[in-house]
A and B are shown apart, each in its own frame.
Chain A
Amino acid sequence: MNTITEFYYVLVFLIVAVLFTIVPVVISYLIAPRTIGKKTFATYECGIEPFGSAWIRFSVVYYVYALIFIAFDVDILYLFPIALSYTRGGNVCEFYSLLIFVGILAFAIIYAWGKGVFTWKRRVQ
């Protein structure tokens, strides 16, 4: 079936992408000299020892941003198979059904916008 052979291109793309990131790291690991001091692997904080733990409770503004990201992400996830099977056919009503689908998913984002999630207060007391 020719759909399997089409995926070979994706496999080659995947391998090249992985190599593109790993090979420079390997090269610099092999070629560079190593100098290890007492503080080389410490966390960078402008030259000072960081105090306090990094495992703290995160503020809720960041959490709401993560929720909005999930909404966008689900959008994109559903659009991938649509993009793959879009070229077959040629009816205009496919386009309209796609628009309605994306519009319903966008309601979540418009609701968040109306609720003021995207604007952060400049000053809190």
Chain B
Amino acid sequence: MGKGGFYLETKGPIIKFAIAEKFINLARANSIWPMTFGLACCAIEMMAAAMARFDIARFGAEVFRPSPRQADLMIINGTVTKKMAPTIVTLFEQMPSPKWVIAMGNCAISGGPFVFEGQYNIIEGIDKLIPVDVYVPGCPPRPEGLLEALMKLEEKITGTRRFPIPEQKW
């Protein structure tokens, strides 16, 4: 974790059942609750992914919690400015473990189209501040991209991918 200047002490769980671990991870992957955290343009595509056409509810992630205390996924969509950075770190720390982060859009991955010589206000990529699990490129990425990111996150949590990869038609 880069020069964000925060510490995050991670302790493992007190009890760890090898057998129950598989089912617990499956339960965690099937019911990821994102936090409503729209920064910029990609937030509209995230809202579109939650709506009737690109239903994210069928994957269990429909309940967007406004409070970080009740959420376990933080989707950073939009540019991270230096003024907003302490807020993002605070919100990330206030989420209880286990928690994951999806960096959606070019701005969250590496600053996006706003990186130029002499830039003074944005942070080039959210992974300079908090650990990121999945990156979704695009400006803005399509809602299907966000759904694929959710699939990848589930694969990261459970170890296997539950849904088939859509076949390429070209």
Contacts and interface: CB of A to CB of B under 8 A. Distances in A.
A34 interface: yes
A35 B94 CA distance: 9
B93 A33 contact: no
Interface in A13-40: 29-40
B12 A38 contact: no
Contact of A29 (B7, B14, B24, B88): B14
A12 to B, nearest CB: 28
Given A31-B13, A31-B15, A33-B98, A39 B67 contact: no
Given A37-B8, A47-B88, A48-B87, A32 B96 contact: yes
Contact of B94 (A29, A32, A34, A44): A44
Contact of B90 (A29, A32, A35, A39): A39
B7 A38 contact: yes
A40 B15 contact: no
B12 A33 contact: yes
A46 B86 CA distance: 12
Contacts, number: 64
A32 B15 CA distance: 9
B99 interface: yes
A46 B67 CA distance: 8
Interface string A39-64: 11010101110000000000000000
Given A31-B24, A48-B87, A37 B15 contact: no
B67 A36 contact: no
Nearest to B87: A47
14 contacts: A31-B13, A31-B15, A32-B13, A34-B10, A35-B8, A36-B8, A36-B9, A37-B7, A37-B89, A39-B90, A40-B93, A47-B86, A47-B90, A48-B87
Given A35-B96, A37-B7, A47-B86, 9 more contacts: A30-B14, A31-B24, A32-B13, A33-B11, A33-B97, A35-B97, A39-B93, A40-B93, A48-B90
